[in-house]
Chain A
Amino acid sequence: MTSITDAGTVTSAPHRMSFYRRHKDVVDGYLFLAPFLAVYIVFLVYPFLKGVWISLHNWNLMAVAFNPDAKEFVGIKNYVRFLWGRDMTWDLTAAWMPRLIVLLTGCAAAYMAMKGQITRRMAFVIGIGVTVVWVLLGFHPGEGGRWYDRRFWPAVSNTFVFVILTVPGVTAIGLALAIALNRETRMMTVYRTVFFLSHVLSVSVVTLIWAFLFNSQRGLLAEVTERLGAEPIVWLTNPDLAMVSIVIATVWWSMGIAMVLFLAGLQGIPSERYEAARLDGAGGWALFRHITLPGLTRTTTLVVVLQTIAHFQVFGQSHLMTQGGPNDATQTVVRHIYQAGFRDSELGEAAAMSMFLFVIMMIFALLQLRISRVED
């Protein structure tokens, strides 16, 4: 962050000057800020606090609208309801897959700390986080027990799966295209436009197109597979492929932004580096491996974090293409919140789940901030 400069301000302040003249900067500063700050406080800070407030109540959408006193303070009951279950136990082997991934993340962080790639403090923070998550994932309902909200954790897990499939897809295709298109010729400019174009479409246009492309009876993909002599693949109503389908549609939709970020990143790699390496006889792959990739480390991290933040909030694709199905295979956190609020009228629960979403978003955002700061 650039330091605050006092250039242009009048520091000699004789007492006959008016209040405004004496406090010119403060007054001006807040006057310029006032319009935004007012909107910001009323429509972002206040709703956030009100969300916390609602989450502590049993708050029926319609009942409270008709009678404001119909809400009942229940403390953290709403949180317990979606986070917890009855007869919970803890053991080592529960949810071993995600826990293994968490553990490996921890090991990677330790390795990077040893190599000096991240600070010890950072490694410490990651270590704590990993341990907490690892321990928490060990909880599950024991014999005869069950989650109070059996659909919440699967929705969280689906959302993670969606992110884990979408983000690498977007990143890899975006990177490949950026490298291929990183030439200032007219054809390349046209191609860039074409590849980016799908990104400006709105979510309902994207789902409209892809829902029919994937349609197992009348769709384009079904027709193609049929002409190739195969049975038409059932996409959207197959529990194994439904998520893949919305991932494909999403990659098509949001790849453009990654491509543009990578193109910007590529511009930032000095061409002398390539020339020097070429003089040393490095070929295409070696250039990519030793110059392009290291030069794009930061951009890649940024793309991954931004995409993760964006896609963790997925709603429209699952709401419009699969209605969360089949068998909840594409139910996501935001759609679960939407249903709790507007199908089941339980605003208290919906608000509490929003706070869970916030905590995850905050972790990602802090990560992003951290990366941006490293960059500066």
Chain B
Amino acid sequence: MRNRRQYWTLVGGLGIAAFLWSIPTLWMLSLSLQPNEILARTTTYTGFGLIPYPFTIENYVNLLSLGNTPRWFFNSLVVATGMTAVTLVLSTTAGYALARIPFRGRGLVFVLILGGLMVPEQVIFIPLYTMFADWDLHNTYTAMIIPRLAVPLGVFLMMQFFRSIPEEVEEAAVLDGAGRWAIFTRIMLPLSIPAITTLAIITFLYAWNDYLWPLVSAQRQEMYTITVGLGSIQSNFAQTEGLGRLMASGVMASLPVIALFIIFQRFVIRGIAMGPTK
């Protein structure tokens, strides 16, 4: 009895905490549903602004019919999807080689790649900028996707996963005369779908939320990702767009990642828990 009561006290307490924690997000949602004329004067019109009254969907209508937000949304989708797809290919092949192919120089390659974990984007964005400038590639999806592909985290994630698959699985296939590529595509890959999903979601989230590199590489507004675009309109001199529309853009920028997270949260959480710990 006492335990039950304790449990429900905990549930109640945490409920309050969870509500407080979500206030910023709910506030954004609520502001996006209020008219700009009111928001110009106060952001706390009804119920500290948490209740969208007076209510309007005008901000969303404007957002979709005018302005750059849909375009930015689309750019983010292309960049994040492209980056995810290629990262999966590179990470699974390289991870497999490091985990299961005993070749000369493997240790050396491993150390070389391990070193890459120490070089974050923030350290090399200046030289990367000059490289893509020399190649005349700025303001392209290519420029926004490629540099991130070199980050070796996915390789290590996949390598760890492949190592955890029992050797016997592979040995049986070798006895059946299967080649390495066949083993990789028909046995290893299907077995690692959970790990691949995890890597995919994490990469997608990263790509969607990346800020510094797209800020530097995309100088044309039409090529902004939603993260960079939203950053650019919030530091706007006079906020010509209106706060409601700004918040609507914020909601739009967040919906895909929130949806993705809620659908795949098992994988995200597992990815975080297994990624860097080992």
Contacts and interface: CB of A to CB of B under 8 A. Distances in A.
Nearest to B89: A35
A53 to B, nearest CB: 8
Nearest to A194: B18
Interface in B20-45: 21-25, 27-28, 31, 39, 41-44
Interface in B226-278: 226-228, 230-231, 234-235, 243, 246-247, 250, 253-254, 257-258, 260-262, 265, 268-269, 272-274, 276-278
B216 interface: yes
B103 A223 contact: no
A9 B170 CA distance: 11
B119 interface: yes
Which one of B101, B231, B253 has the greatest number of beta carbons of chain A within 10 Å? B101
Interface in A43-74: 43-48, 50-51, 53-54, 64-65
B194 interface: no
A122 interface: no
Interface string A34-45: 011101101111
B106 A202 contact: no
B253 to A, nearest CB: 5
A8 B254 contact: no
B261 A200 contact: yes
A203 B174 CA distance: 48
A26 interface: yes
A301 to B, nearest CB: 11
Interface in B186-208: 205, 208
A310 to B, nearest CB: 9
A200 B258 contact: yes
B14 A191 contact: yes
Interface in B122-163: 122-131, 133, 146-147, 149-152, 155, 163
B142 to A, nearest CB: 11
B212 A32 contact: no
Nearest to A255: B21
Which one of B114, B127, B243 has the greatest number of beta carbons of chain A within 10 Å? B127
A219 interface: yes
**Could you tell me the dominant secondary structure of chain A's interface residues?**
helix
Given A39-B90, A39-B146, A44-B150, A341 B126 contact: yes
A13 interface: no
A30 B103 contact: yes
Interface string B1-25: 0000001001100110110011111
A218 B43 contact: yes
Contact of A40 (B15, B39, B113, B269): B113
B63 interface: no
A193 B265 contact: yes
B122 A337 contact: yes
Contact of B127 (A30, A54, A220, A261): A54
A66 to B, nearest CB: 11
A90 to B, nearest CB: 29
Contacts of A6: 102
A318 to B, nearest CB: 12
A204 B21 contact: no
B231 A207 contact: yes
A309 B122 CA distance: 11
Given A35-B89, A181-B14, A302-B277, A2 B22 contact: no
Contact of A8 (B42, B130, B133, B170): B170
B91 A36 contact: yes
Given A51-B124, A201-B257, A211 B276 contact: no
B78 interface: no
Interface residues of B, number: 103
A354 B27 contact: no
B198 to A, nearest CB: 13
B123 A197 contact: no
B128 A8 contact: no
A123 B97 CA distance: 37
Contacts of B21: 194-195, 198, 252
A25 B260 CA distance: 39
A37 B109 CA distance: 9
Interface stretch (A139-147, A160-168, A360-368): A360-368
Nearest to A25: B103
B133 A65 contact: yes
Given A51-B127, A208-B247, 12 more contacts: A37-B113, A39-B149, A195-B18, A202-B208, A202-B209, A202-B230, A202-B257, A302-B276, A315-B212, A358-B119, A361-B123, A375-B278
29 contacts: A24-B180, A26-B103, A28-B97, A29-B103, A32-B184, A36-B93, A39-B149, A43-B149, A44-B116, A44-B119, A48-B127, A51-B124, A51-B127, A195-B18, A201-B257, A204-B250, A205-B253, A208-B246, A212-B243, A218-B41, A218-B44, A220-B48, A260-B269, A264-B272, A299-B277, A354-B122, A355-B123, A361-B119, A372-B276
Which 5 A-B pairs have CB atoms at the shortest separation, nearest pair first? A29-B103, A264-B273, A32-B97, A36-B94, A202-B209
Interface of B: 7, 10-11, 14-15, 17-18, 21-25, 27-28, 31, 39, 41-44, 48-49, 89-91, 93-94, 96-98, 101-106, 109, 112-114, 116-120, 122-131, 133, 146-147, 149-152, 155, 163, 167, 170-171, 174, 180, 184, 205, 208-209, 211-212, 216, 226-228, 230-231, 234-235, 243, 246-247, 250, 253-254, 257-258, 260-262, 265, 268-269, 272-274, 276-278
